[in-house]
Structure 1
Amino acid sequence: MGKLNFDEARHLAARTGIGAEWETIQRFQNLTRQQAIEFLLNNRNMRTPPPPGMSPWPKMVSLRGNMRRRKMIKRISRVEGKSLQDWWVKHLTETPSPFLERMTLFWHNHFPSSIKKTTQPSMLYQQNLMLRKHAFGNFGQMLHNIAKDPAMLLYLDGYENIKEEPNENFARELLELFTIGIGHYSENDMREAARAFTGWSIDDRNGRFINNAADHDTGVKTFLGKRGNFKGDDIVNILLQHPRTAETIAEKMWKEFINISRPDARFTRQWAQTFRASNYDIATLLRAVLTSEPFWDRRNRGGLIKSPIELTIGTLRTLPYSLGRGRMDLAHNLSIMGQAVFEHPSVKGWEGGTDWISTQSILRRNSMMTNLARGNLNEKKNRGGIAQKMPDIPPQVLREWLLAIEPLQAMPTQPGKQRLARAFVLDPAYQVT
């Protein structure tokens, strides 16, 4: 197979990055599909900016004594949570490994947590590092880690799960959302799983996972047709043996990389089989998805609606627009468009797809693009404008670069790259990829 043409390189860059960056497209044009995909999977720069100052768990525990101090916890978490959101948004804008960050965001949405519920930004930061570490790694290990993750133990009340009063929240979401899905387990399976996780909690001395043996239900459990004195890790292992777990992830990959339609089982089942055969190696699954027929099928171009992060940060990474000093709080604007990092609307995460588009949200999305693209469009007078920083390409190539499908509005008749780029960015076709 020969090297990627411009259209193919643009498609791969847009679907696996955060924006269709010109330099990435040019790099891919010198590679075959396989070479480009291997480059993506091996570009794993794990470095992140220094984290903002955050209160450690022991300090927050010391404030739980009375109502006044509990209100202080909420105030601290709100301020520190905003700093943490700004930290990740900045990294999303600047990361040299956008595919790695995109997959970290994917797992962040598969295993959602919330500043408001946990009130522990420092733990959410640690969770974020863990998800990034395993983003291309082993799903089984990540699933074991998330079950013991302090932020998740807080978010889904796992730290309250004791043998005298089993809390079923984590077990329910583990089955329904994280692995096999509704229709593949019974209510009794969920209750038995909750019993297996009893005693998993957080050490007040350091904020780390602790297994309190005195709070664990040591009785025999029956789960998905198996019977034994199961502990939490046993439940996770049984779920990893179930074919539906791999299929759940494969179906999410369809909606992440192919289109927003119902996943085609002919492909997702094949991806899932490959995933399970690799012992849940995520890079192997991604390789199967990115080399598949539907990924490269031109009929799927424009089949995904850009998330607020893809739309906003993707634009900043693609074009030389600038937020300007004091001009825009990017994390806040992502929040009002419906994608506040570390602040999912529910345990289901962001639904994505058509949920990104509503009467209210489309106005906010258009307003954001208008703000980013504003400026003096007279390139002769505005010699410091973005036109001087853009590649020297003809209008048709500019269109092919910025839009996955043909524009839906009439293009400007006056000449100028900056004017034309602005028209493309404000066109409804720019909302899809």
Structure 2
Amino acid sequence: MDRRSFLRKNTAVLAAPAVAAAPRPDDPPGTGDEPISKFANKKLPATARSTAGLAPYSGPWGYDQAAHLLRRSLFGPTRAEILTAAGRTLTQVVNDLLIAPAAPAPPLNVSATDTSVPVGQTWVTQPFDQNFEGVRRASLRSWWMGRMLNQNTSLVEKMTLFWHNHFVIEFADINDTRYGYQYVTLLRQQALGNIRQLAKDVTVTPAMLRYLNGNQSTGGAPNENYGRELLELFTVGKGPLVGPGNYTTYTEADVQAAARVLTGWRDNATTISGYYTASRHDTTTKQFSAAFGNVAIGNGGDQEYKTLIDLVFAQAETARFLCRKLYRWFVYYVIDATTEQNVIEPLAQLLIQNNYNVAPVLRTLLSSEHFFDVVNMGCVIKSPIDFTVTVARQFQIAFPPASSLAAQYGMWDYLNTITNLQQQVVGDPPNVAGWAAYWQTPQYYEMWINAVTLPRRNQFTDLMTSTNGYTRNGAKINIDVLALVTALPPAIASEANLLIAELTRLVFPIPLTANQLAYLNDVLLPGLPDFEWTDEWTQYLANPTNTAKKTAVTTKLQTLLRSIMILAEYHLS
């Protein structure tokens, strides 16, 4: 099996023109006009997938397996984290991943523009003021980036972003960052918890009520936005089309009935909460189709939406739909018939048996033979957030401390601008369906790499490997190559090929070829014998203040890292 086949251009489409992305059926006019590279998939890859199921993995356990698990579970696992995991058992590592850390302190004001609170205090409970929205939104995004950079070995941060991509809102659309903070807090609290309860909570949280117009929905004029997305995107999903607007999983009449159930809810900007107004609610009986067993929901007042959520989660297809999304987040985007039978269906049944608690499903998937099958290693293209945070964490970029609050938040904000340039910004997915890389067939993850984003990735890594780095608010961030290599065992740091091997096994999920390793050796030591690196490194350690010796090893290491990060494999997880 050639595990690198998907890294190469498909010669069959080299002459093909760029095509437009396929719009979703309910997208507004003009959606789907963004060109897709002529090199992108025109159909799903036909490469053979794993036939393994969910039996517990019992194969070798060491650095490679631990790295694979942590790459998919964390943003940019460090060398220390991988080594620690490799020294424990798979069960112990997964146990750790399923422990939720304590809730973080809220985001802080770091701008003199927001006069509602002093710099260094939180704004999350202050009254709304349009004049402060811009700096508060930047504060929230920066704080969220900080949580990902400073994550511990828990799935919570990866799952918080998963739920953000699933129960989508957009900060810019809701235009009240206090709502956004409450929403993010809810996702983090329930990241490893009960999906059905999360769906209930999200339904009436102020951010969602505002984002999908639930706050405008009345008995006299039900708004269908949330009811439609609840069924299509959040729970049962679209089954086969059986009529105009009707699917095996739900019908247009079901969307209308759901919209009537959800009437009467509004958002209160003073209390930052959703609330129910009986006079705005449709009190009639809501009839659902055969897709839901012809159930009728009578007037339940402020509890009626819970009955709807329970009805939707009583459908087995909801569990399957959720498990497919988890699979595409953690494993791969192709779900063939064998994977559907051996992985998705049993995971769905496990989810149902566990009353929609997600932790048992994550434990089973991440501990399975299927997850550790070689075909599922190194087949995910890193998202912009994963790519950017991974650079910072794996290469140990030092960020300003909390004592330099403006500088700290400023650097976190800078990373958000970098992911935005790569077409992913936390808090603002492009639409209610989330980032297209997780649903747009047949390209999926390929959509992260295009003529705009790839140069942006390279520009960021080039800047971080430079001596100048990025400067803001009197602080600088870059990769300290000397600190990075000095932290390695001396025998590894001082031997060229061992050093290259150690760095590449940290950052690459696929082993490099002999030619690639030889190329990197030549980058480090252009035309020089291997012992030259040992001599130069030893001389530097003996006299680290000597400018010439320090510059000699620094320049070589910066060039090596830059060359490592421009390889195609560096974009894989």
TM-score (norm 2): 0.68
| 1:231-250 map, 5 Å | 231-250=304-323
Residue matched to 2:77: 20
Tell me the distance in 2 between the aligned counterparts of 1:421 and 1:26.
21
Residue matched to 2:97: 40
Residue matched to 2:446: 354
Residue matched to 2:143: 87
Asked if the contact 1:57/1:120 (under 8 Å) is kept, the reply is no
Residue matched to 1:345: 430
Tell me the distance in 1 between the aligned counterparts of 2:154 and 2:317.
29
Residue matched to 1:177: 233
Residue matched to 2:272: 207
Residue matched to 2:484: 386
Residue matched to 1:133: 189
2:570 to 418, 430, 433: 430
Residue matched to 1:411: 520
Residue matched to 2:377: 301
Asked if the contact 2:96/2:153 (under 8 Å) is kept, the reply is no
> Deviations along 1:59-99, whole A, 9 cap, x unmatched?
45xxxxxxxxxxxx3x5323321121111112211122452
Moved more, 366-375 or 122-131: 366-375
| 1:1-400 map, 5 Å | 4-48=61-105, 50-52=107-109, 53-54=122-123, 59-60=128-129, 73=130, 75-182=131-238, 183=247, 184-223=249-288, 224=292, 225-229=294-298, 231-262=304-335, 264-266=339-341, 267-322=343-398, 329-352=414-437, 353-375=445-467, 384-390=482-488, 392=490, 393=492, 394=498, 395-400=500-505
Which amino acid is the alignment partner of residue 399 of structure 1? T
Q: 1:170 to 1:155 in 2, by over 3 A?
A: same
Tell me the distance in 2 between the aligned counterparts of 1:55 and 1:430.
38
Following superposition, the deviation at residue 48 of structure 1 comes to 3.9
> Deviations along 1:111-168, whole A, 9 cap, x unmatched?
1111221001111101111111110111111111000110010110100010011111
> Deviations along 1:370-394, whole A, 9 cap, x unmatched?
1122239xxxxx9855322445542
Q: 1:398 to 1:383 in 2, by over 3 A?
A: closer
Moved more, 360-369 or 226-235: 226-235
Which amino acid is the alignment partner of residue 208 of structure 1? S
Tell me the distance in 2 between the aligned counterparts of 1:43 and 1:124.
21
Tell me the distance in 1 between the aligned counterparts of 2:261 and 2:452.
44
- Taking only aligned residues, the RMSD between alpha carbons, in angstroms, comes to 2.4
Tell me the distance in 2 between the aligned counterparts of 1:35 and 1:196.
45
Which amino acid is the alignment partner of residue 265 of structure 1? E
> Deviations along 1:321-352, whole A, 9 cap, x unmatched?
35787788111111121111111110011122
Asked if the contact 2:107/2:140 (under 8 Å) is kept, the reply is no
Tell me the distance in 1 between the aligned counterparts of 2:65 and 2:163.
26
1:420 to 560, 569, 573: 560
Tell me the distance in 1 between the aligned counterparts of 2:463 and 2:316.
47
Any idea what SS the aligned residue of 1:294 has? coil
Asked if the contact 1:3/1:29 (under 8 Å) is kept, the reply is no
> Deviations along 1:277-328, whole A, 9 cap, x unmatched?
1001111110121022221001111111101111111121111235787788
Asked if the contact 1:45/1:96 (under 8 Å) is kept, the reply is no
TM-score (norm 1): 0.89
Asked if the contact 2:106/2:124 (under 8 Å) is kept, the reply is no
Tell me the distance in 2 between the aligned counterparts of 1:269 and 1:48.
39
Moved more, 95-104 or 45-54: 45-54
Moved more, 123-132 or 385-394: 385-394
Q: 1:31 to 1:56 in 2, by over 3 A?
A: closer
Q: Point out the structure with the larger helix share.
A: 1
Structure of larger gyration radius = 2
Moved more, 307-316 or 403-412: 403-412
Asked if the contact 2:564/2:570 (under 8 Å) is kept, the reply is yes
In structure 2, runs of 5+ residues without a counterpart are 1-57, 110-121, 239-246, 401-406, 438-444, 469-479, 493-497, 526-532, 534-555
Tell me the distance in 1 between the aligned counterparts of 2:364 and 2:461.
34
> Deviations along 1:156-191, whole A, 9 cap, x unmatched?
010001001111111111011000012311000000
Which amino acid is the alignment partner of residue 330 of structure 2? F
